[in-house]
Structure 1
Amino acid sequence: MSTSSPEARADIGVTGLAVMGRNLARNFARKGHTVALHNRTQSRVDDLVKEFGDEGDFVPSTSLEEFVGSLKTPRTIVIMVKAGAGTDAVIDELTPLLDEGDILVDGGNAHFEDTRRREKDLREKGLNFVGAGISGGEVGALEGPSIMPGGSDEAYRTLGPILESAAAHVDGEPCCAHLGPDGAGHFVKMVHNGIEYADMQAIAEVYDVLSAAGFTAQEASDVFRRWNEGDLESFLVEITADVLAQVDAGTGRPLVELIRDEAEQKGTGRWTVQIALDLGVPAPVIGDAVFARSLSGDQELRGATGGVLVGPDRAMGDVDRDALVDDLGAALWCAKVMAYAQGLAMIRKASAEYDWDVDVATVARIWRDGCIIRARLLKQISDEYAGQNLPTLLVAPSIKDGLGERQEAWRRVVATAVTAGVPVPGLSGSLASYDTARATRLPAALVQGLRDDFGAHTYRRTDKEGSFHTLWSGDRSEVSAD
């Protein structure tokens, strides 16, 4: 164990000064906090102080020991390194230098189960470990991100005021809140990223339909820019307009037409789908978005089938452009709602599963600004959850009414796209989820009958209690399976 040196004066430390770590450190300093700096490559520390030293009070260090010694107690250290083994390595190096009650914060995109493991291990050593999801990219890290911390109440009493000061603010409220113990923060960040996948997929499909209908990239940009002034106002719609308007300097063509159509992923979307399956929470809208990215990158499949399989040629004929734009805006709003609904359902289920007591209204509130999925819609969602204990976002009065008012337009968009051969897995899948949710009876009854036939898996009846099995290979009489 170590004690702070007499020179200890830093309020918070940041180790790992790549773009996100550097900008977060600058953000803390701009908010009046004295910030200790450390990086394995010393030049990153020196360059930050040289370029941005006038933004606040920085305490550079040349070793971990010097870094730790420069911090006031309880020491608070934010780790901004690559998730996985790199984070474990830094934790192992720091732990012997810390005292009981000190706080380590992982600000990377860690898997929430890793966070739960680390929190348990460090708690047994008397240390506080906080998994904090940080969203907003490099600009958000500097100007105010959405921050989703988990961990102990004790840690948040020290850490919370610093994080809240650095976070984005809406109506005087910070986009940061203590979400629950151990892995709660990183779980919420994972779901945030899953929703982000679904939102971007729906946006991309809307652009594809506009393109098939004859809209140029600039015309599509103008559509998104108009949408961003209304109910669809959001960061992703805003930057969609910017991306579509960008012209390549070398060719004079829209840049979007020159970018390879292979969408990449870093893992959080995939984790969201995997954990949804583990929790038994249906999240097909997010799943469709993840698989759409996987399909876009499957060059062997696309090389074998592109231009070979028979289907419509994307021609839409003479469409009413204004009517199509209105319908697409409605469909995009509905798809966004379905993505939020399924993501928030995951958070609700995980909170019960892991005893986190996450408040869904708070989650929606801290997503209102700073993060990638920030949108006008989130205030509506937060207000709905704050007013009542909802089993699902879909039954919130204003959301239910909004879906009802837009669902015919949603159906027209999907029908138009399918007829023209334009793939819209996000828009059509979200509509299928909506119709499944509102159905009073599903064909799962036949699935259960089939399962019983080939595997004697049994079924339940609507008219009496208990489990039953039909003797399919015998006299087909029914017997009780209880």
Structure 2
Amino acid sequence: MDASAHVGVTGLGVMGRNLARNFARHGYTVALHNRTASRTRDLLDKFGHEGSFLPADTAEEFVAALQRPRRVMIMVQAGAPTDAVIDEFALLLEPGDMIIDGGNAHFADTRRRETALRERGLHFVGAGISGGEEGALNGPSIMVGGSAESYAVLGPMLEAISAEVDGEPCCTHVGSDGAGHYVKMVHNGIEYADMQLLAEAYDLLRHAAGYTPSEIADIFRSFNQGRLNSYLLEISAEVLAQTDARTGSPFVDVVADAAGQKGTGRWTVQSALDLASPATTIAQATYARSASGRRRLRSSHRGLPGATTDASPMSRSEAARFASRVEHALYASKIVAYDQGWTMIQDAAAAYGWTIDLAAVARIWRAGCIIRAGFLDRVREAYSADPSMISLLTEKDFAEEIAQAQVPWRETLVAATRRGIPVPALAAALASYDTLRAAHLPTALIQGQRDYFGAHTYQRNDLPGTFHTHWDEPDRPETRE
């Protein structure tokens, strides 16, 4: 077979098929391979007119169709299936060739695979691709991890097929080995938080303010005209406006209230724990999904008492004022959740030796990805002005907005508590904010407890060093360890 393909895609499920079509639409010749040959034929039958494709029945034919250095993009299920495909193709490639994993791989697997293939002279690229089926076809956000050498060859192609904002591609070289998949994982963790915050805002507007789903759709559309402008808010309004064709009821009333998840949220929380990175809003959003799926556990608690404080229905004018407070609470909590994601990225970069441009992360998330939002351009500007900024919460404009949100944010949570409406992500965001701004935390007591039962020692505010109190000998001075 003539070696004329610029890139090869193996694994022609929805994402792989659409990425292959995206490459072809941008003028690249694409080699195609799938274990089930019917998928290859189906793609050619339906979309062969969109560009230049070279189908291959075997791995050998597929590799032979690729120009050097060969670029093999694998789009298969994460875990063992990915390892199997890598092992198969690595035997057929030569030094300087590259394997690109465009799936939702765990970053630790990507680091392991990159090390193993580097020893064989091959480049391994972990490319986090966000945007779902539509993004893969029309322009995703792409977070690329791997060597600078591989990006020099592959980067222009990925930038060409990515989304674009103001003439800038939503694709960047994030860092070495697993950095790209790590940033994509954090993206998904933020996505969990953003979705949960929107769900809680809907719950408050419906069960505290008394709005119908269609009315909340209109409220969300008005929110979307301002600083909360985002893809997730836009589609939330569409979902709330939807009527079930079978029953005529609001769509949200006929859908089971058990949210699914594919694991990236859990990975984010697990990584946050490993790094001691306080991503509490992301964690609570992930736990909320887990709790929603525990139908038997929830039903066994349904008879327990709840809020007993009288909370009379709101008038229309009161409901409108409450909706304004919810907007403040939603916006402030969203900033906290995104800030926790950026903190995780900074913590991971320090732990794994990555150099990550935080402004570039904000830049490539402005389009193509699920958490794309208008305020990300301001995040990009903030990190461009101060690349070493520790937290978005300290940036002047964001800090002023959070200051303005203080009363409505807190009043929103009071209203939720009075009515027994669960708001785990909103509450976690406020608790995180209060934790960070507190001059003193009660953890001094925890250190005392730890020293008492386990002699774990503690530090003092007034003296350097580490100390241990002899709790069973009250007259004996503490010991400097």
CA distance in 2, matches of 1:69, 1:476: 81
Whether the 8 Å contact between 1:9 and 1:72 is mirrored in structure 2 is yes
Tell me if 1:96 matches 2:91: yes
Question: Judging changes above 3 Å, is the alpha-carbon distance between structure 1 residues 416 and 310 closer, same or farther for their aligned structure 2 residues?
Answer: closer
Residue 457 (structure 1) shift: 1.5
Please show how residues 22-421 of structure 1 align to structure 2 within 5 Å: 22-212=17-207, 213-312=209-308, 316-319=312-315, 320-388=318-386, 389-421=388-420
Whether the 8 Å contact between 2:135 and 2:368 is mirrored in structure 1 is yes
Whether the 8 Å contact between 1:73 and 1:102 is mirrored in structure 2 is yes
Amino acid paired to 2:248: G
Amino acid paired to 2:438: A
Instruction: Tell me what 2:458 maps to.
Output: 459
Residue 458 (structure 1) shift: 1.6
Residue 188 (structure 1) shift: 0.2
CA distance in 1, matches of 2:311, 2:254: 22
| 1:302-346 CA-partner distances (Å, limit 9, x unpaired) | 121013344349955225121111111111111111111111011
CA distance in 2, matches of 1:193, 1:8: 37
| SS of residue matched to 1:247 | coil
| SS of residue matched to 1:179 | strand
Question: Judging changes above 3 Å, is the alpha-carbon distance between structure 1 residues 97 and 437 closer, same or farther for their aligned structure 2 residues?
Answer: same
- With normalisation by structure 2, the TM-score equals 0.97
After the TM superposition, list the runs of 4 or more consecutive aligned residues in structure 1 that deviate by more than 6 angstroms: none
CA distance in 2, matches of 1:321, 1:371: 33
CA distance in 2, matches of 1:393, 1:308: 40
Moved more, 464-473 or 310-319: 310-319
Question: Judging changes above 3 Å, is the alpha-carbon distance between structure 1 residues 15 and 432 closer, same or farther for their aligned structure 2 residues?
Answer: same
Amino acid paired to 1:152: S
CA distance in 1, matches of 2:90, 2:312: 63
Question: Judging changes above 3 Å, is the alpha-carbon distance between structure 1 residues 476 and 299 closer, same or farther for their aligned structure 2 residues?
Answer: farther
CA distance in 2, matches of 1:317, 1:406: 24
CA distance in 2, matches of 1:65, 1:475: 77
- With normalisation by structure 1, the TM-score equals 0.97
Whether the 8 Å contact between 2:128 and 2:144 is mirrored in structure 1 is yes
CA distance in 2, matches of 1:207, 1:120: 46
CA distance in 2, matches of 1:327, 1:478: 53
Whether the 8 Å contact between 2:162 and 2:368 is mirrored in structure 1 is yes
Moved more, 304-313 or 357-366: 304-313
CA distance in 1, matches of 2:86, 2:254: 43
Question: Judging changes above 3 Å, is the alpha-carbon distance between structure 1 residues 313 and 266 closer, same or farther for their aligned structure 2 residues?
Answer: farther
Whether the 8 Å contact between 1:327 and 1:412 is mirrored in structure 2 is yes
Whether the 8 Å contact between 2:306 and 2:420 is mirrored in structure 1 is no
Q: Which runs of 5+ in 2 are unaligned?
A: none
| SS of residue matched to 1:129 | strand
CA distance in 2, matches of 1:311, 1:477: 50
Q: Which runs of 5+ in 1 are unaligned?
A: none
Question: Judging changes above 3 Å, is the alpha-carbon distance between structure 1 residues 459 and 155 closer, same or farther for their aligned structure 2 residues?
Answer: same
| 1:75-99 CA-partner distances (Å, limit 9, x unpaired) | 1011000000000010111011111
CA distance in 1, matches of 2:265, 2:308: 31
Whether the 8 Å contact between 2:272 and 2:278 is mirrored in structure 1 is yes
Residue 471 (structure 1) shift: 2.0
RMSD of Structure 2 on Structure 1 (CA): 1.2
Residue 478 (structure 1) shift: 3.5
What is the total number of aligned residue pairs between the two structures?
Answer: 477
CA distance in 2, matches of 1:99, 1:434: 52
CA distance in 2, matches of 1:312, 1:63: 68
Moved more, 82-91 or 290-299: 290-299
| SS of residue matched to 1:249 | coil
Amino acid paired to 2:447: Q
CA distance in 2, matches of 1:304, 1:81: 40
CA distance in 1, matches of 2:211, 2:154: 50
Residue 460 (structure 1) shift: 1.2
CA distance in 2, matches of 1:190, 1:217: 31
Amino acid paired to 1:382: R
| SS of residue matched to 1:347 | helix
CA distance in 2, matches of 1:472, 1:156: 59
CA distance in 1, matches of 2:301, 2:307: 12
Percent same amino acid among aligned pairs? 56
Amino acid paired to 1:302: R
